[in-house]
Structure 1
Amino acid sequence: MKVNLSAIVKDLCRMQGITLKDLAHKIGIAPESLSRTLNGNPQLSTLEAIASNLGVNLSDLFSTSHETNSASLHSIIVYNGNTYVSDNLNNLISSIKEICTKEGIEL
């Protein structure tokens, strides 16, 4: 499952009436650094700072529905420089199968 982190954070900012530039200043980084973070492979500490300053759970940054406090599963797997994000069990299993296939591991 591919999640557009940048679009989700922009939507969350828009809902709160702030800009990405405002968010960058709140978390203490340059706006350009925030842009690179949202469009690249972000560090967990930066994601936690973004979520905290937006007043949402870390998992909400990867939600495809922007529903907070839902009962669905949220997972982030970082393996060999690749990030796999899942918001339900089927996507998590697919991610694990993909990793296993790449590593030649049979389930």
Structure 2
Amino acid sequence: MLMQGFFEVLWVLSLVLLLMAVFAFIDGALRRTDAYTAADKKTKPFWLIILGLTIAVNIYPILFLQIAGLIATIVYIVDVRPALKQVTGNGPRKGGSSSDGPYGPFNGR
């Protein structure tokens, strides 16, 4: 019974990793090709190949390759995606008024 619970947890974890990789792959495919070079990141085909291989490895699990794919997915989501959003104008705004606070303008009242 304990082993069955362990394998269920591993299955759920594997499913989460697969969904993260699919999200990253779709997000990477929808980004403009020139945004990757403008953000000083690897090329779009590079990331699509890496993320596609990650999806394949999660479908046919090999543990150390799954770990490498997880690292690649995390790097894309945490580093590449925000840089691409900033380059394409979909990221957080820079600048604004000097009286802007985290929730909007600060009027001093």
After TM superposition, the score normalised by the length of structure 2 is 0.31
Q: Which has the higher strand share?
A: 1
Larger Rg, first or second structure (1 or 2)? 2
Please identify which structure carries the higher helix content: 2
Normalised by the size of structure 1, how large is the TM-score? 0.31
